[in-house]
Amino acid sequence: MCSIIGINGQNVNNRLFKMLNILKHRGPDATGIYSNGKLFFNEEINDKIDESEFILAHNLLSIVGNNEIQPIKSGNLVLIANAEIYNYEKLLLDYNLDNFKTNSDCEIILKLIEKFYGNNLKEAVLKTISLLDGDYAFCVYDNKDYVAVRDEIGVKPLHYAFDENTFSFSSESKALKAINLNNSQSLNPRYAIVNNSLLKIRDEFTRYESKIPYEDLKNELKTNLLEATKKRTKNLDHVALLFSAGVDSTLIAILLKKLNVNTTLYTIGTENSQDLKFSKKVAKDIDMPLKTWIINQEIIEKQLEDTINTIEDTNLMKIGVGMTIKLTSQLASKDNQKVILSGQGADELFCGYNRYKNKYDTPAELLDELTHDLNNMYHVNLERDDKATMSNSIELRVPFLDRNVIETAVKTPIKYMLHSNEDKIRKHILREVAYEMGVPEYIAFRPKKAAQYGTGIDKIIKKKILKKKEFTKLLENY
């Protein structure tokens, strides 16, 4: 939806403007700044804004309507947010909130904090986030204290860095590096930033094995996945779907069709790649529109450096996945898509990765590994994916990481997901749910193929591109 920036220190104006410019791709529709108690928007912003020790800034990507410009101010509180709040309307009714200044669901955050505020900003924020159902990163300031937080799984990014003179946070670490803050870290979703310091605010998710019957868990999962998809597409005229024709993305496609959401599937890959082959067949079988892009070595070479700069990582696996998502969202952007959905999170939730079967015979260790992976998705996969789609000014939404879907997954017994240490398809409960909801059998039980392999990108990078000195130097010198 946007980028958010906060900076605290001396002589910070020029650095702030540089950060805003670096992150403009995340919010090309409007820019706002809060400084010295005043709000400045778009053409009002210039280098003559008075110096201030603490400044908040926002770049807007408008998804629905054009009135969501931030920062938002109410009384002595000011908010910047990168957020989608899915229980917005319920909160309005439950807490009898009114007098809104914008059409943005982000303002519900400010109104709740204002309602609970009693000269203790931290407590008001903690009460507010306990009520929010959504994906968010935001900062609120009361002219004395500030608190910055992100959602409990870390779908929306937030990075911070500091030196002896400055503390700053932003939606992407590249903005921090641009002002020579080179020790940037991703904010752990279990913590908040309170006045330049970290404060623990949540516990981690914990995997355990419930005694809920298999059929009951399946029905719960069906209900929660459908509702999660419905939330993420409400009020949207059309959406894009990152489509590999694996079980996860095909299930989301089926859910979108059930909800009558105007959807286009997008797939990229080398000629004759598995993803392209299966995507064309599945799209035809489920009767949904598909757009494809056949890529080759030349395109991959041209995109390599930009992909590395986008995801800020030289790990070959992350480059392969990041390029897949970046190019697919680039294809969607040509159709003016603003929101793209993906099946991210399904493998961590339902034992999808091949490595999980190695701990089948030690279930306690497997539960620990699943717990670790779920709690660390934010900096392993989610930030990479967010950067890749937002580089094309498209917002990523992930139905599998809905709170209710996660709560179903964390209590699912291993035996419902994994059948042996030789299990070749894994995540059985999800596959059966997908099949029963309309995913073709040949896809519901199709073995997983990682994005970088299914598209053919990884093979070209490893076997052809990395043999060229200029590309090995690129990786070495990044």
DSSP annotation string for 352-384: -SGGGGGGTT-HHHHHHHHHHHHHTHIIIIIHH
- Active-site residue, from 2, 106, 139, 351: 2
pLDDT value of position 119: 84
pLDDT truncated to tens, each residue of the chain (478 aa)? 689 999 999 989 999 999 999 999 999 999 999 999 999 998 788 766 888 889 999 998 888 654 578 999 999 999 999 999 999 999 999 999 877 777 788 999 999 999 999 889 999 999 999 999 999 999 999 999 999 999 999 999 999 999 999 999 999 999 999 999 999 999 999 999 999 999 999 999 999 999 999 999 999 999 999 999 999 999 999 999 999 999 999 999 999 999 999 999 999 999 999 999 999 999 999 999 999 999 999 999 999 999 999 999 999 999 999 999 999 999 999 999 999 999 999 999 999 999 999 999 999 999 999 999 999 999 999 999 999 999 999 999 999 999 999 999 999 999 999 999 999 999 999 999 999 999 999 999 988 777 668 899 999 999 899 888 888 888 887 7
| Neighbouring residues of 433: CB distance < 8 A, sequence distance ≥ 6 | 218, 221, 222, 225, 251
316 three-state secondary structure: helix
User: DSSP character for 70?
Assistant: S
Exposure string over 368-389, b if 16+ CB within 10 A, otherwise e: ebbbebbbbbbbebbbbbbbbb
Active site residue 2: yes
Q: At what angle do helices 247-258 and 274-286 cross, to 10 degrees?
A: 20
pLDDT for 99 equals 77
Which helix (H) or strand (E) covers residue 79, if one does? Answer: strand 77-85
Of 336, 245, 331, 321, the closest CA to residue 291 belongs to 331
- What pLDDT is attached to residue 47? 67
Single-letter code of the amino acid located at 126: L
Give me 88's structure tokens.
Answer: 């917005």
| Residue 128 · residue 116 · CB < 8 Å | yes
- The secondary structure element, H or E, covering residue 57 is strand 54-60
How far apart are alpha carbons 396 and 456 in whole angstroms?
23
DSSP string, 98-166: ---SSS-TTHHHHHHHHHH-SS-HHHHHHHHHTT--EEEEEEEE-SS-EEEEE-SS--S--EEEE-SSE
72: its two tokens = 């938002």
Give the SS3 label for residue 68: coil
Q: From CA 426, how far away is CA 163, in angstroms rounded?
A: 46
Query: Cα–Cα distance between 173 and 183 in angstroms, integer?
Result: 9
Q: What is the β-pairing status of strands 339-341 and 239-242?
A: parallel
Rounded to the nearest angstrom, the gap between the alpha carbon of residue 339 and the centroid of all alpha carbons in its chain is 11
Largest CA distance in the chain: 66
